[in-house]
Chains A and B, each alone.
Chain A
Amino acid sequence: MTAALEVRGLTKKFGKLIAVRDASFSVEAGQILGFIGPNGAGKTTTMRVCATLEYPDSGEVFVQGVSVLDDPREVRRRLGFMPDSYGAYANTTIWEYLDFYARAYGLRSEARTRRVEDVMLFTSLGDLREKEIAKLSKGLKQRLCLAKTLLHDPSVLILDEPAAGLDPRARVELRELLSALAAQGKAILISSHILTELAEMCDTVAVIERGEIKATGAVADLTKKLRPAAVVYVRALQGPEATERALVELPGVLRVRRERDGVVFEHEGTSEDLAQTLAALVARGVSPIEFSPQVLDLEDVFLSLTEGKLQ
C-alpha cells in the first residue's frame, strides 16, 4: 500500500549548508507522526519540501504516490500545510479570509460556502465570522490557519509548530482537533517543541538533528531500542549495601549502582521476570520500601538521540 506521505533519501542544501541529509520516513493514513529536533535541525526545511515550497537537491517526496518534483500542483491538491509563521491579510474578516482561500483552491458556489461553514464549525470560529483577523488572539489565528489548511479537504496535513504560543486550553483544543482529523483518516506530520504534547497525540515520531534523521518509530519501540533493559530503583530497610549484595546474585540483573539512599539496577527480561526478581529479593531478606521501574518518555528519547549541536 502507498504511504500517504513518503520522504525518500531527501537532501536539501542552502549554499554550503546541508539543511537535510538523506532523510527518509513515511506517514500512513490516520497516523500522526511527531517530527522532533532542536532548532535548526532541518524540520521546517523538510516540511517545506514536502509542501512543495522548496525543492530537494536529491531524493524524492511522494504524497499518496505523487512526486513533488513531477507534479507539485497535484501534490498541493492533496496536501494541507500550516507554516510556523504566516501572515494574515489586513482589513479582512475571518469569513472573507476563508472565502478567499476557498476560491483559491477552486471551490465554487455553494460547495465553497458549505465548506467554509464546515471548517468554521469544526474549528469553532462560526461566531467570529465578521471579526477582523488583525484583532484575533494568537490561539484564534492558529485555529484560523488550521481552518484554512482544511478548506480543500487534504488527505495529508503538515503542521509546523502549530502549538507554539498557545495557552494550555488552546493546546488541549488543538490536540482534540488533530485527534479528530486523524480519526477521519488524514495523515498528519506535526512538529513541536512541546514534547509532552507530541507524546500524547502522536503514534510515531521521527527525530532529526543537524539534518539527519536519528530515529523513527513508535515512542515505545524507540525507548525499547534505546534502553533494552528496564531500569529499576530500589530502596530497602536494610540499606543500599545489603540490597546491592542481594541483587548482584540474581539472574537477569545487569548493572547495579548506588543512587541516593537506594540502588538502581538494569534488568533484562519481561515484566514477569522482574516480578520474580522482586520476590527473590524479598526471599533473601531484603525488605523493599520503594521498587520503581523508571519509564522513558519522549523527552528522554529526544535527549538520548540528540547531542544538542547546532548547524
Chain B
Amino acid sequence: MSAGSATASDRFNPILVKEVRASLRARIFRVVFQIVLLGTVLVAVLALATLDPESDHAGRRFFEPIYFCLCVALLGVIPLSAFFSMGSEWDENTYDLLAISNLRPRQIVLGKLLSSSIEALLYFSAFAPILVLAFLLRGVDIGQVLLVLATTFGASVGSAGAAIGLSSLGRARAARVLLLVVLGGLLLALIAGVMQTVAIGLNRPGVFAASFVGDFLFSILGLTCGAGALGLAVACERLAHPEENHSSGPRVVVTVLYAAYLAWAAIWMSAHWYVDGAAIGLTLVTLAHVFFATERETLTRRVQRQVPRSGGLALLATPFLPGGGRAILLFCVHLLMAVVFGILAEAHRPSASTAPSGLFERAQALIVFAGYLFIYVAGITLPFSRRTDEVRMRWIARVAVPLIALLSIFAPSILDFLFAKHRYVEMKHPLNPFWVLEDDVSDITLNRICVVLAPLVVVVFLANLGRLDRAWREVQKASRDNRERAQARESVIVTREAGA
C-alpha cells in the first residue's frame, strides 16, 4: 500500500475497513453475490424470451422481475447480512476486545451500516446494466426508475440500520434466532409492499407522481429510515457498558422521530389527508417507549455522575435520563407535542373552501391515537415499576404491554363474533386505537371517545405520579451530589495551591 493511500485510508472508519477486507475474502459473500446475480441473469433471459419486443410496455414487463431480484438483494440480503455482522461480535466473542479499544459504540455501529451501504452499492452496480436494458426496451420512465431505485436504496440502508438494532437486542444465540424470525417476517412484508406499490405505479404511470404511489414510497422510506435511526440508536446504547447510559440517545432519536412523524402527518394531511404512515410511525415510537418505561427505575452510579450539576439543566434532562418513571415523563412530553400539533393545525385552519373536509378531525384523531398509546404504556407498566430491578420482570412487562394492547383490540371483535351481534366484527370499536384513524369515524363518535379518553389519560398520569416523583427526586439528588463533589474537588485544589 502506498503512503498516499495509507493516509487516505486513515480517514475511513476502522470497522468499515475491517468488514470490507473480510467480505472480500469471505466465501459466503462471494457465493451469495454470485447466486443473486446468476438468478437475476436467468430471470432476465426468461423475461426477454417471453417479451414482445414491439410492445410499448416491454420495458415495464422486463423491469418488474428484475426489480424483484434487486429488492431481494437490497431489502433481503443486505439487512440480513447487517444482522449477522452485528451478531457475530457476540458469537465470535470479539466484542470485549472491541469495547476496550478507542472506538465509540457510534463508530462501531456506523461502520457496520457503512459496510452494508457499500454492499448495497455493489449490488446496484451489478444490476445497473440490466435495469438500463429495461429503459431501452421502452415503457419505463427514467424518472420513475430513479425514484424507485433511490427509495429502494434508502429503504435498504434504513432496514440495515433496523437489523443492526434488532441484532444488538439479543446477545444470546437463542434470542437472536427469534429476532431473526421477526426480522425475516418484517423484510418479507417490506419486499411485498414495495413490489406491489411499484407494480401499481408502473402499470398506471399517471398516478406515480400524483399521490398514492409517491406517498406510499415516501411512507416506506420514512418508516424504514425511522426504524433504521431508532435501530442505530438502540445498537449504540446496547454496545455501551451495562452501567452506562443506555437510554438518552434512543430517547433523543425517538423525540426527533416523533416530531418528524407529526410534521409528516401535518404536511400529508393537508395534501391528501393521509395519516396512516404517521400513525404507524407513532406506533413504532411507542414500541420504543415500551422499552423505556420498563427500564430499571433507579440510575446507575455511572449515570448518576453524568447528571448535570445545574438544577435547571437537570430538570430539562430528566425525561431523557434512563428509568421507567422518567420514560413516562418523556411520553407526557410527546403527548404535549401531539396536542401542540393539534392546536397549530387548528390555528392554521385554512378557509373552509380550501380545506379538505374532515381535515381537522384527522388531527384530532391523531391526538386521540397518541392518548390511547399513552394509556397502554403508562397504565400497563405501572404495576411492574417496583420490580424492574429484576431482568425477568422487565421482560414480562415488555411482553405484557403489546399483549394486553392486542387483546383489547381483538377480544371485543372475537367476543362479538361468538355472540353473533356483529357490531365489532370489523374491529371498529373504541378499544382499538387504529379505528379512530379511519375515515368513517364521525365527529360525534370521536368527541365521545375524547370525553372518555381525556379523563382516563389524567387518571393514568395521576396513578404514575409517585413513580414520576421518585424519578424526579433521584435526578435532583444526583445533581446535588455532583455539585457537592465538584465543590469539594475545587476546594482541594485551592487548598493544594495555597499550600504550594
A interface residues, Cβ below 8 angstroms from B? 51-57, 69-70, 72-73, 76-77, 79, 81, 83, 85-92, 96, 100-101, 103-106, 108-110, 112-113, 145, 148, 152
Q: Pick from B17-25, B356-364, B408-416 the stretch touching chain A.
A: B17-25
Q: Is the interface of A mostly helix, strand, loop or mixed?
A: loop
- Say whether B102 contacts A104, CB under 8 Å: yes
Known A-B contacts A55-B242, A103-B14, A103-B17; A86 and B93 likewise in contact (beta carbons under 8 Å): yes
In the assembled complex, the Cα of A163 lies from the Cα of B98 at a distance in Å of 22
Within 8 A of A (CB), among B78-99: 88, 91-94, 96-99
- Say whether A81 contacts B100, CB under 8 Å: yes
Question: Which residue of the partner chain, among B7, B18, B242, contacts A96 with CB atoms under 8 Å?
Answer: B18
Q: Pick from B55-63, B300-308, B375-383, B464-472 the stretch touching chain A.
A: B300-308
- Say whether A90 contacts B26, CB under 8 Å: yes
- Say whether A52 contacts B100, CB under 8 Å: yes
Known A-B contacts A69-B302, A96-B21; A53 and B102 likewise in contact (beta carbons under 8 Å): no
- Say whether A105 contacts B102, CB under 8 Å: yes
- Say whether A109 contacts B241, CB under 8 Å: no
B interface residues, Cβ below 8 angstroms from A? 3, 6-7, 10, 14, 17-18, 21-23, 25-27, 88, 91-94, 96-103, 241-243, 300-302, 305
Contacts of B99 in A (CB 8 A): 53
Residue of B nearest to A77 (CB): B102
Contacts of A113 in B (CB 8 A): 6
Q: Smallest distance from the beta carbon of A101 to chain B beta carbons, Å? A: 6
Residue of B nearest to A82 (CB): B97
In the assembled complex, the Cα of A77 lies from the Cα of B96 at a distance in Å of 15
Give me 18 A-to-B residue pairs in the complex whose CB atoms sit less than 8 angstroms apart, sorted by A's number.
A52-B100, A54-B242, A70-B305, A72-B241, A73-B102, A79-B100, A87-B93, A87-B94, A91-B22, A91-B25, A92-B21, A92-B25, A96-B18, A96-B21, A100-B14, A104-B14, A104-B98, A109-B7
- Say whether B300 contacts A55, CB under 8 Å: yes
Per CB-CB distance, the 6 closest pairs between chain A and chain B, nearest first, are: A87-B93, A103-B14, A55-B243, A87-B92, A104-B101, A91-B25
Q: Smallest distance from the beta carbon of B388 to chain A beta carbons, Å? A: 14
Given contacts A72-B241, A76-B102, A104-B14, 18 further A-B contacts (CB under 8 A): A52-B100, A55-B242, A55-B301, A56-B301, A79-B100, A81-B100, A85-B93, A87-B94, A89-B18, A89-B92, A89-B94, A92-B18, A92-B25, A100-B17, A101-B101, A103-B14, A109-B7, A110-B6
- Say whether B243 contacts A76, CB under 8 Å: no
Contacts of A145 in B (CB 8 A): 97
Contacts of A89 in B (CB 8 A): 18, 22, 92, 94
In the assembled complex, the Cα of A70 lies from the Cα of B486 at a distance in Å of 12
Contacts of A91 in B (CB 8 A): 21-23, 25-27
